[in-house]
């Protein structure tokens, strides 16, 4: 499986990290949506964007947890991964089937995590 032409939303508040993720995804052939740096802006985008294949979520966005976005994605059956420094237990307690790609991650681990979520 590849990410070619897959529409991937990035929800990350650290500009340089978001830009790096964007470049990695674009190099893998994905179409990047965003990045969005807050829960409010991500939820607003989800209200209007109907064509999203998967989402990369940072857990902590300027002190606010991204879980309302994850809940909205679950409701719409849109696969997502967490790209976070949070421990797996924090994430799996709320989202038992979620994939966490722990920070700092490599390009390869991020792409493999996304491909697994899309599978």
Instruction: Return the pLDDT at 85.
Output: 77
* pLDDT over 90, % of the chain: 78
Q: What is the pLDDT of residue 71?
A: 97
Per DSSP, the three-state class of 1 is coil
Residue 98 CB: number of other CB atoms within 10 A?
17
List CB contacts of 68: < 8 A, sequence separation 6 or more: 39, 43
Q: Would you kindly state where each structural domain of the chain is located, as residue ranges?
A: 7-118
> Predicted confidence band at 1 (pLDDT cuts at 50, 70, 90)?
low
For 64-101, how does the pLDDT look when each residue is reduced to its tens digit (9 = 90+)? Answer: 999 999 999 999 999 999 998 777 777 888 898 889 99
- The CATH code of domain 7-118 reads 3.40.50.2300
Write the CA distances from 66 to 7, 56, 95, integer angstroms: 20, 11, 12
């Amino acid at each position: 499986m590849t990410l070619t032409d897959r529409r991937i939303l990035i929800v990350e508040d650290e500009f340089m990290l978001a830009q790096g993720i964007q470049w990695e995804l674009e190099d893998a052939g994905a179409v990047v949506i965003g990045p969005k740096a807050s829960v409010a802006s991500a939820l607003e985008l989800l209200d209007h964007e109907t064509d999203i294949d998967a989402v990369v979520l940072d857990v902590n966005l300027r002190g606010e947890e991204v879980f309302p976005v994850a809940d909205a994605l679950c409701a719409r059956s849109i696969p997502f991964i967490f790209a976070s420094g949070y421990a797996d237990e924090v994430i799996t307690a709320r989202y038992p089937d979620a994939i966490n790609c722990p920070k700092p991650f490599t390009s390869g681990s991020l792409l493999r995590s996304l491909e697994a979520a899309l599978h």
